[in-house]
Structure 1
Amino acid sequence: MVDILKSITNTNRSLAILIDPEKMKVGTVSAFAKAVFTTITILKEKLHVEQFYFFTGGSTMEKTDFDLWIQTLKENTEIPIVIFPGSHTQLSENADGLLFINLLSGRNPEYLVEQQVHAAQQLRKTSLEIIPTGYLLIDGGKETAVQRVSKTRPLTQKDISNIVNHAYAAQLMGNQLIYLEAGSGAKHAVSKEIVRDVSNQINIPLIVGGGLRTIRQIEETFKAGANMVVIGTAIEENINWKG
């Protein structure tokens, strides 16, 4: 089993493909896992990516058997599966790891502590690798599902120092990853200036996602200091996406 945090920390470039189980029926997971392998091979060559992951989760999960969905994906891939949960109900022992999310860009106690407390009971005896993650929602030019569900506002990209302060505070609070997220289908990705300044301030791995649709954007994000880039909508819309 991959030591996820150690791998992200010790590799220069990791890439995660974000999948929302509510947008992919369990009966199509096997075909997706096979089809996306070609895309992964191309991205590895173009971007010199050292490690790939599947991030799985969504803002809601009302009509999906999350555990069965994760189990099906696990049976059809050797790529590590990391849960990126929208709530405490999105847990499965069939995954390899879990981002234990702290939505520090918002001030809603439901996502600062309540969801985490609800999850704690289920995680006491888990075999999942749990990684405390400071999650900062950044304004990507459109309202996102995270914003609607969490009832929190994103941080404006115009105030870089505020974003840097949030990221550094997240590190001081003991988080082991920082995740800058512009949101699914964002019009504007997190700027390379923000990525650079946050990367220069923290000494833990930096994840960046949302609105990244081209190889050039991803390359610039890596060069600015991201340890991991997350792609979601681009591959969701086109399984053969090549940047």
Structure 2
Amino acid sequence: MRNEVGEKLKSIVRSGRKGIAWLIDPDDMDENSASRLQEAKSLKIDFIFLGGSLIQKNNINDSIRLIRMYAPGVPIVLFPGSSIQFSEEADAILFLSLISGRNPELLIGQHVSVAPIIAKSNIEVLPTGYMLIDGGEKTSVHYISQTIPLPNHHPELSVATALAGYYLGLQYFYLDAGSGAPNPVNSKIIKSIKQKLPAPLIVGGGLNSLEKVKAAFLAGADLVVIGNGAGKSSALLKEVNSYLETYRIMAN
């Protein structure tokens, strides 16, 4: 089984250089996607995450082919909301266990149904502890998952949850405030978890400005995920890329 994506994530952690993933909902792929993908390629985005809470179009494979055409070389990582959002044409899959909730379908149920399919493919599997954090309002992921998010002002609960996932063998952790959340994950939560876990830490949801992205990085996020903030314009991706270029030069 391949391990290129996992190794790239771990190298980002080891080097301390930080990284960017652009989250694309297949439902949002349209005639303007080609130009935005070309820009993402030119900006040297580390990963493209593909998926969403509610997929209304059965176009995962078409989306992957479009990305391959206009952003060749950028690893495509599935960010599935359910077992039907799978394609062996992607490079890797975030095998998400929603450890912040108590919905058995998203803890293990959906995983059982897709595991035999994954086993027959050559896709890279990233065992990921997925944690929903309260971003200030109910988002689509909260509704679809039917779970209560962790509070954004009690880091100790999030740390305990992350530690439990780590002791269960999960290797990557994704803190998510939800797409379009007014408030991103609290910096204190990011910092507290990073201090306790020797694992790549991915943070997304509500990161719609450079200031919020900076705060996530400075708190300890290894990889930030930008979704809505880059959906209609690449301006935020450009700002974050420029910031990281300066950050990496200073770090060296």
TM-score strictly above 0.5: yes
1:131-153 deviations in whole A, cap 9, x for unaligned?
00000000001111111111111
Name the counterpart of 1:200. Answer: 195
| Structure 2 match to 1:61 | 55
* TM superposition shift of 1:2: 7.1
Q: CA deviation at 1:28?
A: 4.0
**Structure 2 letter corresponding to 1:4:** V
Unmatched 5+ stretches in structure 1: 42-50
Identity within the alignment, %: 37
Question: In 1, Cα distance between the equivalents of 2:93 and 2:48?
Answer: 11
Aligned-CA RMSD value: 1.6
- The residue that corresponds to 2:132 in the other structure is 137
Could you tell me which residue of structure 2 aligns to residue 96 of structure 1? 91
1:181 matches 2:176: yes
Query: Which residue number corresponds to residue 212 of structure 2?
Result: 217
The alpha carbon displacement at 1:17 in A equals 0.5
Task: Give unmatched runs, 5+ long, in structure 2.
Answer: 240-252
Q: Give distance in 2, aligned partners of 1:90 and 1:226.
A: 26
In structure 1, the residue matched to 2:79 is 84
Separation in structure 2 between the aligned mates of residue 213 and residue 29 of structure 1, nearest angstrom = 19
SS state at 1:15 partner: strand
Paired with 1:164 and 1:239, the residues of 2 have a C-alpha distance of 33
Deviation at 1:36, TM superposition (A): 3.3
TM alignment of 1:15-164, pairs within 5 A: 15-25=20-30, 27-37=31-41, 40=43, 52-77=46-71, 78-164=73-159
d(CA) in 1 for partners of 2:148, 2:213: 25
The letter of the residue matching 1:29 is S
Distance 2:210 2:145 in 1: 31
Equivalent position amino acid for 1:65 in 2: N
Shift of residue 29, structure 1, vs aligned partner:
3.3
Quote how far apart the aligned CAs of 1:167 are: 0.7
Alpha-carbon contact 1:36-1:240 (below 8 Å) kept: no
Alignment length, in residue pairs? 232
TM-score after normalising by structure 2: 0.87
1:143-175: CA deviation from partner (whole Å, max 9, x where unpaired): 111111111111111221011000111111111
Match of 1:46?
A: none
The code of the aligned residue for 1:174 comes to: G
Superposed displacement of residue 239, structure 1: 2.7
Separation in 2 of the partners of 1:69 and 1:6?
A: 25
